[in-house]
Amino acid sequence: MVSELIKSYALTCTCSHTHNTRAYVFCNAMGAHLAEVESPLQHILTCTAELRDKPLWLGASDVMNNDEWVWMHSKRVMGYRNWNMNRPEASPSGHGHCLAIQTQPVFAWVETACDQNLRDRPAGEMAELTEYKPHESGETNFGYQNHDEDAEKNQVYTEVQPPENPGSSHPQGRCSAFIGVAQRALGTWVKKNRRQLIIGIKAVVFLLYFAYFGYAMYYRFGDEGSIRLLACTVLGVLILLLSLTSDAIIQKLGAICASVNLSRRQRAGTILRWVLYVLMAGFAVIFVIVDIALREPRNLMSLTGMAFFVIVLYITSTDPARVNWHPVFWGMSLQYIFALLIIRTTWGYDAFQWLGDRVTELLKYSNAGAQFVFGDKYTYHMFAFQVLPVIVYFSSLISVLYYLGVMQSIIGIIGRFLAFCLDTSATESLNAAGNIFVGQTESPLLIRPFMETMTRSQLHAVMTGGFATVSGSVLGAYVSYGVNASYLLGASVMSAPAALAISKLTCPETEVNKIDEKEVYKMEAGSSHNVIEAASSGASTAIQLVANVAVNVMAFLAILEFFNATLVWFGDRVGVDGLTFQFLCSYVFYPMAFLMGVDTQDCRRVAQLIGYKTFTNEFVAYIEMGKLLDNGKVYSNYTATFGPDAPIEHNGLDVTLTQWGTVLIGGFLTARSELITTYALCGFSNLGSMGIQLGGLGAMAPNRKTDLSRLVLRAMIAGNVACFMTACIAEMVDIRQIGRCVYNTVAKNMTYLRMAHRAGNSYLSI
């Protein structure tokens, strides 16, 4: 209360000039106003001002309506009063219209002549007071009750003594007034020239950075650090140039197209579209025959899985006859092209591997905050004190990038690219681009003003995009469990066009788009005022996400344990051992794993993980996958010690290392299965996320809750299929990881494995 009181008093002025008019002018020159006292505590603070023989002026007057006192600055009718005995007196003569605190014998209020009548003020100021007349009900405009004048005259007020050694509450004098005037003048100049100042500061920073960059390249070039600096600089310059010139390029292309005859333009567009169709389809067929069928026929299973998913979704589409195959074809084609660039090309593979290493390196910095808060033994509780802090760290980092405008530029460029290639609307494309970096409820904020008028197909695409991808915040947490960071980055990029393609297949567009496409790309910056506030707000926003992840994992694991115990009990009643949720999922989702191209011996393991992801969440699935990856590292150490022909035994899904007598619970995954599983699990498509999306999107578009509730289940299934399609394409084009075992962290080498059966014992060997 005291802090708020002092804050409200920051611009008040207590003045003891001879005349009220002089006091009024003096306070205005300082950018303040005469004090307004509305409580006993404020009265005490006012009395601590410099008091001499002269009265201490207050900022009230009854000039507009005799004996109706109004605070002149706030225009409020006086509520709290501390009149001296027998005051105020009626002043029909026109004098006594100003208010002062008398010094003797007590610090009480008296009405005093103003020396110059306040009616001489400008008419505009006088008119402002006329609206504050009391209502007939006896209550003023500001909620203060009218006082009984007779009772006030007979009331004896408590004497309020000022504290000892009173000091001045505001600086006074010519020096202070000059400083105040200078500050206001400088502030006015800065506001007037704000745009030029910002451009100048950016130009100076830009020049200083390139001066540093040039010297750094000259001083030390050739090591990994110089390559990192060069790559980041080139990427930043490209993003800056594209963000600055994209609108101009689009307008120029639009003007060129407009200058061409409409019929000729349509005919040329149709011809170009079919030429691109033929070229892309021909390239895909040739690649499948030459590079896949002849070199690695096993990868054709993924192609079969893709065809199966497309046929099933087409049959179950909301309107199969209205399916527009253009976004479906080019969405899958972009997946294919991205997979070739990321996985098959040496530079693309190395680039994403390098990015994955940088992400892993970036995650390590979150340990500093976790160690400071939780102590040196924070690693004893990995999930609570090591995984969850990563979410806070990434959320804060992304918030800073939003404040700097980096995220808006990148998302805008990718969104325009997707809209151009797939011929989807700006809202759908921008949301899909945002899903690469942020979550299922954060990305729709980019298009929030348009959600009320979006079509059902567009809403379905927005929801599918959220289900088919994960946010950058939780991606870091998955890496903490040993999941390959480059795979996760590749899945995030490839799933964006996949989500649009699958969405347009399962819920085709049947309505007219009423949204102005140009307005969609005008993304606003964050609400933060500086980098520090952006980092803080990002960390604060992560609190809800961290709590949501933690409680959901606790709840689902507890429910899963209870469900397993219940199933085991029912199984025991009929003589069936090992009847668990994992056991059921290993058979229910077995066809999905098999169609994606998972190694036969791993199909049940991967099917279990898909069940975890669908019925609980991807966090639980990646936790379980992390256990299998750890088992793979143990097996790599085992083969490094005893050779690649070291014997192992299988007991269901468990694997026993014979020489060590160690049992790997659940077994481990081959490199092919690891690749497919990482891509297939990389999405928020689960039952819990359905509630999250309904809550988040429903708050953004309250009038569309009915449509959202009808579409959410279909969108969740479509998001799952989009992840499966991404996994199929990644496995189909990959030949680097086929047959490769998990990385050997001890021997620092890779081993190749194949399944063989010797003397009735199953073991892995070269």
- pLDDT tens digits along 553-579: 788 778 888 888 898 889 888 888 878
Q: Report which secondary-structure segment, H or E, holds 71.
A: strand 70-71
Residue 34 pairs in a beta bridge with: 13
Compute the C-alpha angle 341/505/418, nearest 5°: 40
DSSP 581-650: HHHHHHHHSHHHHHHTT--GGGHHHHHHHHHHHHHT-HHHHHHHHHHHHHHHHHHHHHHHHH-TT--EEE
Given pLDDT bands bounded at 50, 70 and 90, which one contains residue 641?
confident
Q: Is residue 461's pLDDT more than 90?
A: yes
Tokens representing 100 are 């002062």
By CB atoms closer than 10 A (0-12, 13-18, 19+), residue 360 is middle
Higher pLDDT, 266 or 397: 397
pTM over 0.75: no
Which spans in 654-759 are helix H?
671-681, 687-700, 705-733
Q: Is residue 735's pLDDT more than 90?
A: no
Q: In the 8-state DSSP scheme, what is residue 77?
A: B
Largest CA distance in the chain: 123
Residue 641 zone, left/alpha/beta (φ > 0; ψ -120 to 50; rest)? alpha
Q: Is residue 654's pLDDT more than 90?
A: no
pLDDT of residue 106: 60
Given pLDDT bands bounded at 50, 70 and 90, which one contains residue 503?
very high
Given pLDDT bands bounded at 50, 70 and 90, which one contains residue 46?
low
pLDDT of residue 722: 93
Given pLDDT bands bounded at 50, 70 and 90, which one contains residue 724?
very high
Domain segments of the chain as ranges:
1-118, 196-259, 274-543
pLDDT of residue 16: 54
Tokens representing 633 are 């590292």
pLDDT of residue 590: 92
pLDDT (mean) for 184-209? 86
Q: For residue 252, how many other CB atoms are within 10 A of its CB?
A: 11
Higher pLDDT, 551 or 676: 676
- Give the Cα separation of 149 and 137 in Å (integer): 17
- What amino acid is encoded at 140 in this protein? T
- How many helices (H) and strands (E) would you count in the chain? 29, 11
- pLDDT tens digits along 56-97: 778 888 877 777 788 887 788 887 787 776 666 544 444 577
238-242, 501-505, 669-673: segment of lowest average pLDDT: 238-242
Q: Is residue 481's pLDDT more than 80?
A: no
- pLDDT tens digits along 669-713: 888 898 899 999 988 888 888 887 888 788 778 888 889 889 989
DSSP 8-62: HTTTEE-B--SSHHHHHHHHHHTT-EE----SHHHHHHHHTS---SS-EEEEEE-
pLDDT (mean) for 125-145? 37
The answer to whether 107 touches 162, Cβ cutoff 8 Å, is yes
Given pLDDT bands bounded at 50, 70 and 90, which one contains residue 260?
low
Q: How far is CA 364 from CA 163, 390, 394, 701, in A?
A: 57, 9, 11, 39
260-274, 671-685, 719-733: segment of lowest average pLDDT: 260-274
Which spans in 365-484 are helix H?
366-374, 382, 388-404, 406-422, 426-435, 456-468, 472-479
pLDDT of residue 220: 84
Q: Is residue 504's pLDDT more than 60?
A: yes
- pLDDT tens digits along 346-382: 887 777 777 777 777 777 787 788 788 878 777 777 6
pLDDT of residue 204: 92
Q: Is residue 144's pLDDT more than 60?
A: no
pLDDT (mean) for 660-672? 88
Q: Considering only CA atoms, which of 522, 514, 495 is closest in space to residue 456?
A: 514
Q: What percent of the chain has pLDDT over 90?
A: 11
The answer to whether 413 touches 249, Cβ cutoff 8 Å, is no
Chain centroid, CA 357 distance in Å:
23
Mean pLDDT for the chain? 76
Tell me the fold of 1-118. Mannose-Binding Protein A; Chain A (3.10.100)
Q: For residue 350, how many other CB atoms are within 10 A of its CB?
A: 11
3-state secondary structure of 260: coil
pLDDT (mean) for 162-170? 43
